[in-house]
Structure 1
Amino acid sequence: MTEETIQDEMIAGKHPVLEALRSGREINKIWIADGAQKTLTQPIVAEAKKFGIVVQFVDKRKLDSLTPGVTHQGVVAQAAAFAYVEVEEILERAKERDEIPFILLLDEIEDPHNLGSILRTAECTGVHGVIIPKRRSAGLTATVLKTSAGAAEHVPVARVTNLAQTIDKLKEAGVWVAGTDLSASQDVYKMKFDMPLVVVIGNESKGMGRLIKEKCDFLVKLPMLGQLNSLNASVAAGVLMYEVVRQRRSL
């Protein structure tokens, strides 16, 4: 059976999905129809578990809508439009440029439009790479690529299984971790960002997770002078990225 691709990112059918997994292709998510034969889906579930890929069981109509006109056999996978990188490659990128590392870590940003906008600003501000989790996060989909206006082709994105462990590894590499949180006592404009730095942006509604917040070396907040107490995640990320740029340009 040949691989069926919808809009360059959907793979339909048992064999195409299984082969994509075994070949090492980057897969964002897999959907399996409720009631699908276990003999058909068990190898896919096992392979997905091995790579930490999210598998969701849904109504068959969901799969029909994802791959209109294509025989999916109750299995559809969403492939990454671009390959992800390793965290070490992001650090190496900064080293090759002889620049102080500047990395974004996104704690469960779920809206693909937000992710695309963040990648666009990251490219404009010289961010060396972006780190996202495999679960409960938007991935490199066609929507993200379109929203990023091509920036996703130039900003390396690492997709990791465990954000907390990734933060520990970054700290071991000498990188400081700044979390963004409304409860922070430190104003972002009073903080220095002249060190190797990871800026953590939290989920659109929940903010950073408790464990991620505890892992941060320090927390900062943007001043809120109006009636609302929060900004859109991509807007907040943009303000923070340009504050880092402003400070580093003055060094």
Structure 2
Amino acid sequence: MSSNKILFGFHAVTVRLKTHPKSITEVHIDASRRDQRMRGFVERVKEAGVKLVDSDDERLGKLAGSPRHQGVVARVNAIAMQHSLDAVMEDLEAAEQLPLLLVLDGVTDPHNLGACLRVADGAGAQAVVAPKDHAVGLNATVAKVASGAAETVPYLMVTNLARALKELKERDVWVVGTSDQAEKSIYDIDLNRPVALVLGAEGEGMRQLTAKTCDELVSIPMQGAVESLNVSVAAGVCLYEALRQRRAQSR
């Protein structure tokens, strides 16, 4: 990952201001905006001691590479996060923390990835794993949709997904894939244990080798006319079912 990158949108930049303000080189804002939200944001930037640059919509759009910048674009330095699956697992084992991982196979849309990172952060997943050759990488659009979660949840791109899943199984992580054809549902299995939840892209689903590598396949019950859910919605259903079971067990 490059040491210098762009973040845009209120949520993404505000999270970076909260968590790593010294990593921000400068913040560009739409000088024509004087609404309450922008005023509050500008105060936060000034309190953090970050350079503030007045810009216009055209320049902001070029910097962000998108018209959906909300009048806020930041130049930032990349922050250190765990960048290997082994490192994440070793940290979890050292902390005696129950692993909850989200694995995405074939998700190439940056909006879907951003939404998956956001729900992973919300549910307490410790990492999102994807193959290098069948996935979108982190970019400004992903960071915008993730609303800060791209800064808090490690996104690990592995060379061989099936091999990475086998390595998780060797660490006693139960690998659960989602499939419309599975007889059991996500509500029928025990998720109060080390778990990696594997989801494929909407429509195509998981690749055959990925599905064969899973310990178990489950479905998400569909009661209406539609046949499937968007991958980020499906990720939310599965991750929050794991969270629900774990919280119930701890009471």
Partner of 1:110: 108
The alignment partner of 2:235 has SS state of helix
Aligned-pair CA distance for 1:205? 2.0
For these two proteins, the number of residue pairs brought into alignment is 181
Partner of 1:93: 91
Counterpart residue identity of residue 237, structure 2: V
Aligned-pair CA distance for 1:96? 4.0
Once the two structures are superposed, what CA deviation does each residue of 1:49-70 show, in whole Å capped at 9, x if it has no partner?
xxxxxxxxxxxxxxxx9xx9xx
Partner of 2:136: 138
**1:153-164 alignment to 2 at 5 Å?**
153-164=151-162
Aligned-pair CA distance for 1:244? 0.2
Correspondence 1:174 to 2:172 = yes
Name the CA shift for 1:149/1:96 in 2 (closer, same or farther; >3 Å): farther
Q: Greater CA deviation, 137-146 or 84-93?
A: 84-93
User: Matched residues in 2 for 1:91 and 1:6: separation?
Assistant: 27
Partner of 1:240: 238
Contact 1:81 1:141 in 2 (8 A): no
Aligned-pair CA distance for 1:84? 6.3
The alignment partner of 1:186 has SS state of coil
Aligned-pair CA distance for 1:81? 6.2
Partner of 1:219: 217
Counterpart residue identity of residue 182, structure 2: A
Once the two structures are superposed, what CA deviation does each residue of 1:41-88 show, in whole Å capped at 9, x if it has no partner?
xxxxxxxxxxxxxxxxxxxxxxxx9xx9xxxxxxxxxxx966661001
User: Matched residues in 2 for 1:229 and 1:159: separation?
Assistant: 29
Partner of 2:187: 189
**TM-score normalised by length of structure 2:** 0.67
Contact 2:202 2:228 in 1 (8 A): no
**Structure 1 unaligned residues grouped into runs of 5+:** 9-64, 69-79
Does 1 or 2 have the higher relative contact order (CA < 8 Å, sep 6+)? 2
Contact 1:81 1:140 in 2 (8 A): no
**1:37-52 alignment to 2 at 5 Å?**
none
Partner of 2:202: 204
Partner of 1:21: none
**TM-score normalised by length of structure 1:** 0.67
User: Matched residues in 2 for 1:93 and 1:222: separation?
Assistant: 31
**Structure 2 unaligned residues grouped into runs of 5+:** 8-61, 66-76
User: Matched residues in 2 for 1:96 and 1:178: separation?
Assistant: 24
Aligned-pair CA distance for 1:93? 3.3
Counterpart residue identity of residue 114, structure 2: G
Contact 2:202 2:230 in 1 (8 A): yes
- Structural RMSD (CA): 2.5
User: Matched residues in 2 for 1:129 and 1:6: separation?
Assistant: 21
User: Matched residues in 1 for 2:135 and 2:147: separation?
Assistant: 20
Aligned-pair CA distance for 1:7? 5.0
Aligned-pair CA distance for 1:136? 2.2
Name the CA shift for 1:225/1:126 in 2 (closer, same or farther; >3 Å): same
The alignment partner of 2:108 has SS state of coil
Aligned-pair CA distance for 1:97? 3.6
Name the CA shift for 1:222/1:248 in 2 (closer, same or farther; >3 Å): same
Partner of 1:121: 119
Structure 1 segments, 4+ long, off by >3 Å, are 5-8, 80-84
Counterpart residue identity of residue 94, structure 1: L
User: Matched residues in 1 for 2:113 and 2:235: separation?
Assistant: 10
Aligned-pair CA distance for 1:195? 1.6
Aligned-pair CA distance for 1:190? 1.3
The alignment partner of 2:130 has SS state of strand
